[in-house]
């Protein structure tokens, strides 16, 4: 929704988000998870202080925020580790933030865009591919669960479940679903 052009499509995404993602019922359903994330963050800070006598507060806050979004949208939660899938996910998100904030000469001088002097377009395409693969796997997992009859409760399930349950007129295309990431 953040990158969709304003119009009917954007309004439809906004309506779906407001109705299903930000409803009071859904927000209340995630209260226990938020408490758990808060406790994990406090534990991470305590452990860091005991071991290193310093805290990388930006990293702890970033990971807490990332967990919140991942659980709300994809139904996945991650531990505070420095390796594995969690670390790869964090790297993708950090790369995305960096690309969003980078000064890109092509934005100010469009006639230079075909040169991609800073490699921003190339990096964006590579990141888009990696994110699409990750999100595609998550959506495929959800779809497989649906086919096998293991459906999430719509009132507490994640946003992917909500989007897959939409009626035909509101349903998003598969390519739109993979652009969630």
- Per-residue pLDDT reduced to its tens digit, 105-138: 888 888 888 888 889 989 999 998 898 888 888 8
Domains and CATH numbers, the chain: 8-178 (1.10.630.10)
pTM of the shown model: 0.68
The Cα 160–Cα 94 span in angstroms is 23
Confidence class for position 167, pLDDT limits 50, 70, 90: low
Q: What is the average pLDDT across 39-56?
A: 87
- Per-residue pLDDT reduced to its tens digit, 102-113: 998 888 888 888
């Amino acid at each position: 929704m953040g990158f969709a052009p304003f119009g009917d499509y954007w309004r439809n995404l906004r309506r779906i988000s407001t109705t299903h993602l930000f409803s009071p019922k859904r927000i209340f359903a995630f209260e226990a998870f938020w408490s758990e994330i808060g406790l994990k963050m406090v534990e991470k800070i305590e452990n860091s202080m005991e071991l290193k006598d310093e805290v990388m507060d930006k990293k702890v806050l970033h990971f807490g925020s990332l967990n919140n979004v991942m659980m709300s949208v994809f139904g996945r939660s991650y531990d505070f580790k420095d390796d594995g899938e969690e670390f790869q996910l964090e790297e993708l998100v950090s790369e995305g933030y960096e690309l969003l904030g980078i000064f890109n000469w092509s934005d100010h001088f469009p006639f230079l865009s075909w040169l991609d002097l800073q490699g921003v377009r190339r990096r964006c395409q590579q990141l888009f591919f990696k994110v699409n693969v990750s999100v595609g796997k998550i959506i495929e997992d959800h779809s497989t669960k649906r086919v096998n009859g293991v459906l999430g409760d719509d009132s507490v399930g994640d946003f992917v479940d909500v989007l897959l349950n939409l009626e035909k007129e509101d349903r998003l295309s598969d390519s739109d679903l993979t652009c969630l990431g």
